[in-house]
Amino acid sequence: MQFLDDSLLPENQAPLVIQVAPYGPQFLPGDSDDIPVTMAEQVQKAVDCWNAGATVLHVHVREADGRGSKRLSMFNEMLARLREAVPQMVLQVGGSISFAPEGEGAQAKWLTDDTRHMLAELDPRPDQVTIAINTNQMNVTELLTAEDCGDTTLGQAAYFQAYKEMWIPSGPAFVEEHLRRLQAAGIQPHFMLGDVGQLETVERLVRRGVYTGPLVLNWVAIGGGADGPNPRNLMEFINRCPEHAVLTVEGLMRHVLPLNTMAIAMGLHVRVGIEDNLWGARGERISSVQQVEQMARIARELHRPVASGSEARQLYRLGEHYATADETLARVGWLPNRQPGQRGTPLRRAA
């Protein structure tokens, strides 16, 4: 991504897309008074976040006992209700489904490849499903302090240890098949990338024609196998993104606010919600709705408009699909593939 002299002026920036992740599957209802449990409460939380300014909803679902659901039927019911309650919102299903441990001390793990592939069969169809790239450690505890965990379930030694040892199973065979199924179903993959190496893998998938659509992604700065919340990491990732990528910044706990403030100023997009962060000022809880309101308020102070639902869909280029690898590279903003016998850096072809 390039920055021109006038790139920081809000009139030259796209409207701000606010993603919200208000369901926090790693937490249990007793961990916060901001965790919706019944289906009606979960839908109302989406409505409240929409009214506050969020246009993209990261969807997980809870069972009646408050634990994260792994049943596709529950996701289908949730999506159907959301389509009625927030019809203009972009519905983004979390590709992990739910990685919360089943019981005290149980391993925190993602479900099998076959189960995750079934996300392409959800009905009604979500707009997006998130996808992680490359099998990797996902130790979400590495950046957490005792203060962050507070009196939540993550403050319990066995539960904390389960999350400390979590990893993402996302090898080449899974990724290629999952992308094939999602694209065939008309669902946009939303890439969740923790570092430049994962972005490079996505570029190779595009160059081989495995993925042929817009590049919509989050930089996931949660440490423990992903980048940490260092501004130098953020700038390197931005530098390596192609021109027409849609980039959202995602952090963890109290790092969310400063990282997202930088994102708003630079014309990028933001993610908030209790899945990522429980805290406002040190020691003070903040709800998902309050986090959305905070992002909208900062954007207004910088004179940058917050995207409407239709603007978010347009920015994400939902529904677009390209015929070839060459067309995808051109539309995303990467240099073309090298042609036989060609030497030197392949230049973009004239339109």
Instruction: Scan for tokens 């923790």, then name that residue.
Output: 194
The whole-angstrom distance between residue 151's C-alpha and the CA centroid of its chain comes to: 26
Q: Alpha helix locations (H) across the chain?
A: 39-52, 72-85, 113-117, 146-149, 157-164, 172-184, 196-207, 231-240, 256-266, 288-301, 309-316, 325-332
pLDDT of residue 104: 57
Cα(278)–Cα(257) distance, rounded to whole angstroms? Answer: 11
**Cα–Cα distance, 232 to 172 (Å, whole number):** 29
Inter-residue contact 255 to 247 (CB < 8 Å): no
In whole angstroms, what is the distance from residue 21 CA to residue 289 CA?
Answer: 10
- CA-based torsion, 236, 239, 245, 246: positive or negative: positive
Q: Return the pLDDT at 100.
A: 52
**What does the pLDDT read at residue 254?**
97
Half-sphere exposure of residue 93: CA atoms within 13 angstroms, side-chain side: 32
Per-10-residue mean pLDDT, the chain, length 351? 96 98 92 95 98 98 89 93 98 78 57 83 96 94 93 90 90 96 97 98 98 98 97 98 98 98 98 97 96 98 98 98 97 94 79 46
In this prediction the pTM is 0.94
In the prediction, which pLDDT does 351 show? 46
